[in-house]
Structure 1
Amino acid sequence: MSRATVNLFFDKRASKDGQGVVKWLVCLDRKQRLFSTGRKVLLSEWEFLQASKTKLDNRVKDEGKIRLWHEFYGDTFPDEFSGKVQTSYLKRAQTVIGQLADRFTFEAFAEAIANFGKDVEKPIEQTDLIAALLNKANSMSSAGRIGNAINYELAAKSLRRFVNSFTDEERKEFLSIPIPRKSNQPRQVAILQFDHLTADFLTTYEQWMQYHGKAPQSKLKAATGASLTTVGIYLRHVRAVVNDAIEAGLMSRDTYPFGRNRYVIPAGANVKKALPKADIEKLKAYQPVPGTTEQRSHDLWLFSYFCNGANLTDICRLTWANVDTKGGKLTFIRQKTARSKRQSQTPIVAYLRPETLAIIERWGTTEKRPNAYVFPFLNASMTERQKKQAVHQTVKMTNKWMGKIAEQLGIEGDVGTYSARHSYATSLLKSKAPLAFISKSLGHTNLKTTESYLGSFDDEEAKAFLNAL
């Protein structure tokens, strides 16, 4: 990467008294910017400086000229009023450019040169990326967006583990921390700042995640690799706080590390989870042991499948106000979009079948006030974080038992709770339901999202479609 250069420039454009302002002329990659030193000199003084800028001639005896030269081109000079030793104007700019190094931007230079020699720094928590992620998590938690809050926390913990794994050489490369001169010298605390985020840093983090992304559950176990989907989730949250930092003026837009020709966040594989019709029929016909966790898990999977592929979060949060037994329908707003969209929400309407009514009767709570939960997984005394954890535990238990049921039935592939949603959408498509109808029933706002839910057709189905040509 090319290094910025600086020279002094005499600007007399707005001068009416024969004086001009001395400015720093900074150049980088054929771009030039002027920054005022705030110091005015006469044209005759500037001409003297230009004639002597590489070296002060020994024949110059005028103390005023000698002092002037040291003020602009020397190393240091005594301040005329305070007597304190000051760094020359050219040396100040060269020092700032050297300190910024590869993180140089014109904006960063302007801020650094304005604060040169001052003990003025941004509070460390403002430039600390990990602190910013945790602050964002707290904000999300206060707003009741617990899922997002947890992801910000996980991203912060992951980056902290990554930074803590650095060798001395990597700390120097990525965090600009000098290598200790002595082996017993304490290591400087590693703080990951916004300016440290580069495409190289993020690429290295992605590679590290694929080998060490999952933290060990105990000291006796080793870390294992995380998926690119997990990398994508974490880095989208990192990108969000980076965007906040740019808006707040804590980071220059010129150093933005994401996007084309920089670092592209991985999307992860969109694996289709829809089950074949034959496997769905096996699950529908299965008879679990009554009153057991197995039966409850089986019922929740079928409830999701029959109710427009509703996910477990929405099912657990259903209240009796959402249930219209006389009209035979269930009306609810998806939790995923309830807080993220400012426009009016389009409710999802799922028509109740005998199977779903029986599930409500079997597992529903007895207190049927409008704001009471239909199923017993949540209660009003829980905090949002406790509710999130309860839903997570319900999903985990349901997936565990559905895996056992699938094994008994000889069903291969994933039969977790999310497969019910994909299977619902794909079953509708194969029954020739219009894509727009499927999209609306899933609560999607655009058809492309719906298309990603739809599984592929098997060979026999493809042949049947082609025979109709």
Structure 2
Amino acid sequence: MNGVTTSVILDKRIQKKDKTYAVKLRVTHNRIQKYYPINVFLTVDEWEKVHSEKPRKTYKDHLLYFNEVELKARAVVKEIHPFTFTAFEKKFNQAPRSSIDVFSAFQSYIDDLLKEGRASTSESYLCALNSLKKRQEAKRRKKLNFWDVTPDWLKEYEKWMVAEGKSRTTIGIYLRSLRTILNNAIAEGHLDRESYPFGKRKYQIPASNNKKKALTIEQIGQLVKYEPQNKYEAKARDLWLFSYLCNGVNVKDIARLKYSSISNNKIHFYRAKTERTSKHDLQEITVVLLPEIEKIIDKWGVKPIESDTYIFGIISKDDTPEQELAKVKSAIKSINKFMDRIGKNIGLPFKPTTYFARHSFATVLKRSGAPTEFIKESLGHKDLKTTEHYLDSFDDDFKESFQKKLLNF
């Protein structure tokens, strides 16, 4: 092979503080040796386990990666006539898929989200990126190539997240973020369609647990009748009820409501979640201004009333997307804190967070006989399946009442 030899070795010349050494690709030509790092660091004991007769788990992953690196190096060497280290380095480093990896693609996508003002979504992707980096660090790998993400790798990553105490919901969020990055990589030519690891007969993202997140109409009645012990409880309870009565509007959308959103005895708004992602067919959500809703606005709304003023003063006009996100998160934290106290005071067996308000709106309507299509429109969902996830399962008493109707001869 042009008088060139290649091998992956443990470079013991410099030991790190954690007792590891860099694993490197060694290329030898005319008795001259050059070493190229491959972003893996191992102890002597770990190196020996990688090269044991039957390496397992992480050690087997390392061995496969080392073999892949050496095969790639040999392929590059064969293309160089006459061989020079300069030509090798240029071609080896510029070989397809070497200039960009999963981590850099994630960061680029996060930067784009921030430029678009989508701070909340960017934060979610950053959490996924940090999780992936932590997993690779545990395997003593600093890089994650697109082609490393195989169905087996994804299964192993899922198991690792479970061991880390992550919920099925969180696991699903992280993996859907990774799936988006891989889809983008295919569109940009960094990954072959054949190497795509998601889908039937490959890897399927686990569905989240469908836990009950809705209050009964009786429990909501308890919240309405509750006498707050201070103004913080009063505001938290009222904003929770505002969300419930206004089609389950989330706190971010409550924060973005202006007095100009009110006209003809109705509140009109678009969900922030879909406003930036849906280019066409944006669905306006309309809420009838019930006396109970108007009372909450009169009590907590910012004065003086001006059309361009945010109703509840949670955010301000000059906020950056990052500042807006921080203020919304602070508002959610405050509401949940005092709703937890209220829930305990009235004997609820769970914390009635802001998330419960949205699910309660959908479930109470469903149990009242409202068509799912109407609930879908009210929530601002495009897909009926999304709406169905919001609807709480029916309890035994409800099922029994309908079963008894089978005997109403």
Q: TM-score, normalised by structure 2?
A: 0.76
Q: Distance in 2 between matches of 1:153 and 1:193?
A: 18
3-state SS of paired residue (2:90): coil
Report the counterpart of residue 386 of structure 1 in structure 2.
323
User: What is the deviation of 1:289?
Assistant: 3.3
**C-alpha distance in structure 1 between counterparts of 2:76 and 2:201, whole Å:** 27
The partner residue of 1:243 within 183, 188, 195 is 183
Structure 1 position 196 matched with structure 2 position 167: no
Code of the residue aligned with 2:115 in structure 1: it is S
For residues 36-76 of structure 1, the C-alpha deviation after alignment (integer angstroms, 9 at most, x for no partner) is xxxxxxxxxxxxxxxxxxxxxxxxxxxxxxxxxxxxxx755
Q: Rg larger in 1 or in 2? A: 1
1:362-401 aligned within 5 A: 362-401=299-338
Equivalent residue for 1:296, pick from 211, 214, 235: 235
Structure 1 position 424 matched with structure 2 position 397: no
Q: Equivalent residue for 2:268?
A: 331
Q: Matched residue of 2:147: which SS?
A: helix
Q: CA deviation at 1:100?
A: 8.9
Q: Distance in 1 between matches of 2:155 and 2:330?
A: 34
Q: Distance in 1 between matches of 2:116 and 2:98?
A: 22
| Residues 61-460 of structure 1: pairs in structure 2 closer than 5 A | 117=88, 119-120=90-91, 121-122=93-94, 126-166=99-139, 171=140, 190-212=142-164, 225-289=165-229, 292-324=231-263, 327-460=264-397
* Cα drift, residue 112 of structure 1: 9.3
Could you say if the C-alpha distance between residues 158 and 112 of structure 1 is closer, same or farther in structure 2, counting changes exceeding 3 Å? farther
Cα deviation 1:400-442 (Å, max 9, x = unaligned): 1111101110111241111111111111112212222222111
User: 1:236, 1:113 → 2: CA distance?
Assistant: 40
AA paired with 1:309? Answer: G
In 2: Cα distance, 1:130 partner to 1:285 partner: 51
What 5-or-longer segments of structure 1 have no aligned partner? 1-73, 78-83, 86-97, 176-189, 213-224
| 125 and 145 in structure 1: CA distance in 2 versus 1, 3 angstrom threshold | farther
8 Å CA contact 2:77–2:88 kept in 1: the answer is no
CA distance in 2, matches of 1:259, 1:319: 43
Q: Spell out, residue by residue over 1:228-247, the C-alpha distance to the aligned partner (whole angstroms, 9 max, x if none).
A: 21111111111111121122
Offset of residue 118 of structure 1: 6.1
Comparing both chains, which one has the higher relative contact order based on Cα–Cα distances under 8 Å and sequence gaps of 6 or more?
A: 2
CA contact (8 A) 1:108 1:252 kept: no
Distance in 1 separating the partners of 2:400 and 2:195: 53
5+ long unaligned stretches in structure 2: 5-28, 31-63, 81-86
Q: Secondary structure at the match of 1:154?
A: helix
Displacement after TM superposition at 1:110 (Å) = 9.4
Report the secondary structure of 1:235's partner residue: helix
Deviations 1:294-326 (CA, angstroms, capped at 9, x unpaired): 1111011100111111111111111111123xx
Which string of whole-angstrom CA distances, capped at 9 and with x for unpartnered residues, describes residues 257-305 of structure 1? 2222322222211223111222111011112135x21111101110011
Do the aligned partners of residues 111 and 323 (structure 1) sit closer, same or farther apart at CA in structure 2, a change above 3 Å counting?
Answer: farther
Counting matched residue pairs gives 341
Contact 1:305 1:423 in 2 (8 A): yes
Distance 1:353 1:255, change over 3 A: same
Q: Which amino acid aligns with 2:90?
A: D
CA contact (8 A) 2:255 2:314 kept: yes
> Cα deviation per residue 1:359-418 (whole Å; 9 max; x = unaligned)?
111111114332221111100111011111111111111111111101110111241111
What's the counterpart of residue 24 of structure 2?
none
What secondary structure, in the 3-state scheme, does the structure 1 residue paired with 2:268 have?
Answer: strand
Distance apart, 1:206 and its partner CA: 1.5
Aligned 8 A contact 1:333 1:347 in 2: yes
Spell out, residue by residue over 1:94-128, the C-alpha distance to the aligned partner (whole angstroms, 9 max, x if none): xxxx99956999x9999997688461334998422
Q: TM-score, normalised by structure 1?
A: 0.67
- Distance of 1:205 and 1:331 partners within structure 2: 43
Say whether the 8 Å CA contact 1:103–1:195 is kept in structure 2: no
Q: Percent identity?
A: 36
RMSD: 2.9
Moved more, 329-338 or 261-270: 261-270
What amino acid is the match of 1:321? Answer: S
C-alpha contact 2:339 2:351 (8 A) present in aligned 1: no
Name the amino acid aligned to 1:137.
Answer: I
Please say if residues 228 and 267 of structure 1, whose CA atoms lie closer than 8 Å, have aligned partners that are also in contact. Answer: yes
After TM superposition, give the deviation of residue 347 of structure 1 in Å.
0.8
Q: Distance in 2 between matches of 1:264 and 1:112?
A: 39
**Distance in 1 (alpha carbons) for counterparts of 2:373 and 2:206:** 29
Once residues 241 and 122 of structure 1 are traced to their aligned partners in structure 2, the CA distance between those partners, rounded to angstroms, is: 21
Task: State the alpha-carbon separation in 2 of the partners of residues 363 and 125 from structure 1.
Answer: 56
Name the amino acid aligned to 2:356: S
